Amino acid sequence: MAIITPFPTPQRASQIGFDRFELTRILDLYGRMVAAGHWRDYAIQLGHEAAVFAAFRRAAERPEFRIEKRPALRARQGMWSLVGEAGAVLKRGHELGPVLAPVERRLMKLVEN
């Protein structure tokens, strides 16, 4: 009689993503920045530790801003962060709205000019 050995099943780590409200809020800001002529492209990266939305001025360069969601930091400094082009964290918080505020202020300046 043969012994049947089952294939090992990989541990499925949960993937971090944006929910509908969060993505709507981010894409609304992106659309307004595109309409103002400032952004032209975006990328979304969903991983095991973070979900990242990156906005580009042009497709061939580094993102101008990255909006990151890291649920592991929820209890500490907040799971949302706004990262600049150089990699510096510009704003961090528990809610998405205040984290997007510096970009929205920039949009106001673009519209005024």
83-103 pLDDT, tens per residue?
998 889 999 999 999 999 998
pLDDT at 110: 60
Beta-strand runs (E) in 28-77: 41-46, 51-56, 65-69
CA atoms of 92 and 42, how far apart (whole Å): 21
Query: Which pLDDT value is given to residue 12?
Result: 61
Per the CB < 8 A criterion, the answer to whether 68 and 46 are in contact is no
Query: What pLDDT score was predicted for residue 108?
Result: 77
48-85 pLDDT, tens digit per residue, is 999 999 999 887 788 999 999 999 888 888 899 999 98
- pLDDT of 13 above 80: no
107 pLDDT band (50/70/90 cuts)?
confident
Classify burial at 98, counting beta carbons within 10 Å of its beta carbon; exposed 0-12, middle 13-18, buried 19 or more: middle
